[in-house]
Amino acid sequence: MILLGVNIDHVATLRQARYRDEEETFGNFIEPDPAEMAWLAEDAGADGITMHIREDRRHVQLEDVQRYQEKMKTRLNLETSMSLEMVQLAHEIRPESVCLVPENRKEVTTEGGLDVRGNIERANEVVRELLQNGMPVSMFIDPDPDQLEACAEIGAPWVELHTGRFARAWYDLEKREDELNTLKDSMKIGLELGLRVNAGHGINYDNVQGAKTLESIYEFNIGHSIISRSVRTGLEESVQKMRSLLNE
Ligand code: PXP
């Protein structure tokens, strides 16, 4: 069984497009409500909820996460950067897991994986601190053997392989095959290193057919495509559909 983590950030993106200057984040005329949509996704079968509080707070706000936690039914996977401020925030929020991601303020979405090898001292510090405080850590990395080894060296228990390049190559058969093989090789290395391997980014209702062939994948974290489809079909359908495609 492949688990589905639903990333709810884009619900907050829609709210911020209209109401970013309001003092409140929900209630009265303010919509949509990320916490409510997270609960709905859980009712529809999501195995977990992912939220990313970005340093510039461009979509999810701290209040969204705290409100979700009040009535959550599954588990919260909090995405954050490795900055001092964000790691401190993770300690306050105390999610069921933390996914460490790189952050570049100009990017539209998380563009590349975290350079664990290039920032190994800071990564080591953050992973240890979070683990000591009972928060399992996942490292969002490109499918690159050296990055996988760096994650294992610092004792990170989980990784999330960045599937963005594979997703973008979906309509180029040769490139798609190459990217899928790169993911499969990384998957194998990750498992040999004793890591739990998740994956995500850019997965949609078409390319999930290829993505799910990654043997022993534990969980996919999927956001944009599920939220986009829900505009047409409703969130219940879009979550259920993705879940059934992953496991049919
Ligand atoms: N995993 C990570 C670490 C992410 O940062 C994101 C969102 O950028 C996702 C998964 C979900 O990606 P998408 O919205 O493209 O499904």
What residues does each domain of the chain span?
3-246
For residues 208-229, average pLDDT = 97
Task: Please indicate whether residue 228, judged by its CB atom, sits closer than 6 Å to ligand 1.
Answer: no
What is the structure's pLDDT at 190? 98
Q: Between 32 and 109, where is the model more confident?
A: 32
Q: Are 201 and 7 in contact (CB under 8 A)?
A: no
Contacts of 94 (CB under 8 A, 6+ apart): 133, 134, 135
pLDDT for the residue 111: 74
Helix segments in the chain, DSSP class H: 9-19, 34-43, 62-70, 84-93, 120-132, 145-153, 164-168, 173-192, 208-211, 224-233, 235-247
Q: How far apart are CA 234 and CA 165, in angstroms?
A: 28
Nearest ligand 1 atom to alpha carbon 10: 14
Q: Is the CB of 34 under 6 A from ligand 1?
A: no
> Ligand 1: distance of its center to the CA of 91 in Å?
22
Residue 205 to residue 20: CA distance in whole angstroms? 30
- Here the tokens at position 29 are 């005329």
pLDDT at position 147: 98
Tell me the mean pLDDT in the region 181-208. Answer: 98
Superfamily of domain 3-246: Aldolase class I (3.20.20.70)
The answer to whether the CB of 164 is under 6 A from ligand 1 is: no
Contact 62, 51 (CB under 8 A): no
Q: Report the pLDDT value the prediction gives residue 109, as an integer from 0 to 100.
A: 67
Taking the centre of ligand 1 as the mean of its atom positions, its distance from the CA of residue 99, in whole angstroms, is 11
φ/ψ region of 75 (left if φ > 0, alpha if ψ in -120 to 50, else beta) reads beta
How far is Cα 44 from Cα 226, in angstroms, rounded to an integer? 12
% of the chain residues with pLDDT over 70: 98
Report, as residue numbers or ranges, the catalytic residues. Answer: 52, 79, 201
End-to-end CA distance of the chain: 9
Residue 193's pLDDT is 98
Q: Is the beta carbon of 162 within 6 A of some atom in ligand 1?
A: no
CA of 193 to the centre of ligand 1 (A): 24
For residue 224, which of 177, 164, 172 has the smallest C-alpha distance? 164
Q: Which run of H or of E encompasses 2?
A: none
Q: Say how far apart CA 50 and CA 3 lie, in whole Å.
A: 13
Q: Is 95 in the pocket of ligand 1 (CB under 6 A)?
A: no
Mean pLDDT over 47-65 rounds to 96
Cβ of 201 closer than 6 Å to ligand 1, yes or no, is yes
Closest Cα to residue 159, out of 132, 193, 130?
193
Contacts of 239 by beta carbon, 8 Å cutoff, 6+ apart = 4, 6, 41, 44, 45, 46, 226, 230
Residue 110's pLDDT band (boundaries 50, 70, 90)?
low
50 CA distance to ligand 1 centroid (A)? 9
**Model pLDDT for residues 169-194, shown as the tens digit of each residue:** 999 999 999 999 999 999 999 999 99
Q: What are residue 100's DSSP bridge partners?
A: 80, 139
Give pTM, 2 decimals: 0.96
Question: Which atom of ligand 1 approaches the CA of 222 most closely?
Answer: 16
Per DSSP, the three-state class of 230 is: helix
Q: How far apart are the CA of 100 and the centre of ligand 1, in A? A: 12
Whether the predicted pLDDT of 198 surpasses 70: yes
Q: What is the mean pLDDT of the chain?
A: 96
Asked whether 202 lines ligand 1 (CB < 6 A), one says: yes
Q: Measured on CA atoms in the order 12, 16, 22, 27, is the torsion positive or negative?
A: negative
* Whether residue 105 has pLDDT greater than 80: no
pLDDT interval class at 104 (50, 70, 90): confident
Q: Which pLDDT belongs to residue 40?
A: 98
Q: Does residue 106 register a pLDDT over 90?
A: no
CA of 223 to the centre of ligand 1 (A): 6
Give the confidence band of 153 by pLDDT, cuts at 50, 70, 90.
very high
Ligand 1 atom nearest 203 alpha carbon:
16
- Ligand 1 pocket, 77 CB below 6 A? no
